[in-house]
Amino acid sequence: MHKFFSNRKLVIMVICAIIAVGLIAGSLTLRKKDKTPAIQKIGNDVFGAVSRVIAMPAYGIQTVSTNINNFVSTYEENERLRKDIDDLNATHAENKSLEAENKELKELVGLKKTMSDYSLTAATVLTRSPSSWQDLITINKGTSSGIKKNQPVLSGTGLVGRVIEANYTTSKVELISDNNESANRFAIQVQATDGEYVNGIVTGYDKKTNQIIMGQITDEKTVKVGSSVTTSGLGGVTPKGLFVGKVIKVSKDDYGLASEIRIKPAAKLSNVNNVYIAKLN
């Protein structure tokens, strides 16, 4: 029987370990930078294209099954939606006039750009990383559509994550349910009972209860359960006013110093299919 750890094998193993550590350290540093290296971008795009082709039949099956499901519930949904439409039309008209007024007022004051001016780019989710540790999804839009690293990503109902890698035609998005320590945190705010805003940041995500944790809150103000939480626009990367979720619990944090607010996310993070990337104008 030959020795399992021969000298040559041992040397190779040590070298591999060193290379692994170097590579990991290198890529963690790259994650923090503004841009992704071209070679990484090209590779990602190529894999993205292959993945699209391979997944096509699978998506076809999905489309058929959702179509059948939709067909069954169409009648009820139609009834419900008809009621909503009238309401929406009125709100839409109101929004238009408010927007125009807002613009005029901004011009009067001389404000050119504010944190609440943003536009949305629609994208479809290609894959979800098969890793239990990272809640990463790959979307089908990249720098060629104007997407940049660190831009916030929304689903139809609310904030879902942030772009962490922008390639030419695909991008990686880290969901807010990803609990890693190096994540770029969102600055968020919630209206207190006295009408003023309480600022804080998303400090984590509790997967057991499906709640976003808002921490580092400095103001000692009472916040009502059920009030809406939005991004605050502080930090200058994320636009102001993106809907995050609703407050469901207010408590002291583990150390009893600052208060901690638990938020029920508006978006369903386990099932993200179509997303919008918000970019500041």
Read off the tokens for 84: 């909503």
Looking only at residues 52 through 81 of this chain, which bind other proteins when binding is defined by CB under 8 A?
Answer: 54-55, 58-59, 62
b or e along 180-191 (b: 16 or more beta carbons within 10 Å of the residue's beta carbon)? eeebbbbbbbbb
Task: Choose one: 67-75, 123-131, 143-151, 193-201; the region binding other proteins (CB under 8 A).
Answer: 123-131
- Interatomic CA distance for residues 1 and 243, integer angstroms: 65
- The three-class DSSP label of residue 145 is helix
**79, 181, 194, 254: residue in contact with other proteins (rule CB under 8 A):** 181
Which window, 25-33, 75-83, 144-152, 238-246, contacts other proteins (CB under 8 A)?
A: 25-33
Decide: 176 and 137 in contact? Cβ < 8 Å: no
11 interacts with other proteins by CB under 8 A: no
Q: Where are the beta strands (DSSP E) in the chain?
A: 118-128, 136-139, 152-154, 159-166, 171-175, 187-191, 197-206, 211-215, 228-231, 243-252, 259-265, 274-280
Min dist CB 40 to other proteins, Å, is 7
Q: Is the Cβ–Cβ distance between 272 and 149 less than 8 Å? A: no
24 lies in the site for other proteins, by CB under 8 A: yes
Query: Least separation, in Å, of the C-beta of 226 and other proteins?
Result: 22
Q: Does 138 bind other proteins (CB under 8 A)?
A: yes
Near other proteins by CB under 8 A: residue from 6, 74, 193, 270: 270
CA 170/CA 271 separation, integer angstroms:
19
- Which residue from 12, 14, 26, 81 is in contact with other proteins, where contact means CB under 8 A? 26
**248: which 2 tokens?**
């469901």
By CB under 8 A, residue 31 contacts other proteins: yes
Of the pair 102, 179, the CB lying nearest other proteins is at: 179
With contacts defined by CB under 8 A, name the span among 43-51, 213-221, 222-230, 253-261 that binds other proteins. 43-51
Contact stretch for other proteins (CB under 8 A) within 19-27, 108-116, 222-230, 232-240: 19-27
Residue 117 CB, shortest distance to other proteins, in Å, is 30
DSSP letter for each residue of 61-92 = HHHHHHHHHHHHHHHHHHHHHHHHHHHHHHHH
- Report angle CA 45, 51, 56 to the nearest 5 degrees: 130
At position 214, the amino acid (one-letter code) is M
What are the residues binding other proteins (CB under 8 A)? Answer: 16-17, 19-24, 26-28, 31, 40, 43-44, 47-48, 50-51, 54-55, 58-59, 62, 125-134, 136-138, 164-165, 172, 177, 179-182, 204, 207-208, 210, 268-273
